[in-house]
Amino acid sequence: MNFWTNKKVVVTGGAGFLGSFVVDKLKERGCKDIFVPLIEEYNLVNMEDVKKVYAHAEPDIVIHLAAKVGGIGANRANPGSFFYDNLLMGIQLLDQARLFGVDKFVTMGTICAYPKFTPVPFKEEALWDGYPEETNAPYGLAKKMLLVQSQAYRQQYNFNAIYLLQVNLYGPRDNFDLETSHVIPALIRKCVSAVKEGKEELVVWGTGKPTREFLYVEDAAEGILLATEKYNKQEPVNLGSGHEISIKELVGLIVKLTGFKGQVLWDASNPDGQPRRCLDVTKAKKEFGFESKTLFEEGLKKTIDWYENIAYGRR
């Protein structure tokens, strides 16, 4: 707890899904000086706005969570902007952190940076063993370059930057916009809407064969803060649950929890994405004592309850 006493902290993306939980946990830990650069006031793709953040906040620590993200559809529709915006935000924030004398910079990477056919579970050492899955490669590679920058800055400037590789998150406050959301919020919204509207069919992208790993958002926030407090090495570290589930099983679970009684139709004309995704999470436990605490079905129930309350005003 004493780690955060008198620390000035910038959390980019702190008003977003993951960031809001990180800010909550910082406050619980006694951090009094937290600055969240809102997108309406600071465009982090613009260097002048990045400089203004540092001049205003004078941070000791930067936790960089801001990102342009989305599911397969959004990645296919916006590969250029996903690459450019994520790369520029990270590069500029990290470089200015060094110039402003920030003590520590925490970068949130992505499981999308791993090669398409990485052996499961994904070990950090396999990160450079091939090209990422094509539908989200521009996003994954942009984030991966921030690892290169972090390690280069540690080597040349002795700058303390760490890099965490995160699986897909889920939980309350997620993005449920069908155009830009990831698989869990998209499925929850579709199922809840189908129940509400009495639909007898539900169309889901792909074949259902790929597997994915998901991490409950509050667990992810805890992992990030534990790493900020205790980890100071150049090697990337996976943040995940270690729990792998097929998309078909996931759909079945969400169908059950939302009470949808109709038929699920699989649209195989849309891509599956990467065949399998599951992280080796032993390094996070060894280096800073992180383990996922939330059981998957419990986390899904909390997420569904939150969405139903927001969408339809019921708990």
Q: Indicate which residues carry an active-site annotation.
A: 139
| Residue 284 CA to its chain's centroid (Å) | 16
Strands 104-108 and 61-64: parallel
- Tell me which residue of 302, 187, 298, 201 sits closest to 248, measured CA to CA: 187
* 3-state SS, residue 135: helix
> Dihedral (C-alpha) 307, 308, 313, 315: value to the nearest 10 degrees?
-110
Nearest residue to 97 (alpha-carbon basis) of 124, 57, 134: 57
Q: Name all contacts of 11-15 with Cβ < 8 Å and 24+ positions apart.
A: 11/35, 11/36, 11/63, 11/65, 12/36, 12/37, 12/44, 12/53, 12/62, 12/63, 12/64, 12/65, 12/66, 12/89, 12/93, 13/64, 13/65, 13/66, 13/67, 14/65, 15/39
Which residues make beta-bridge pairs with 265? 203
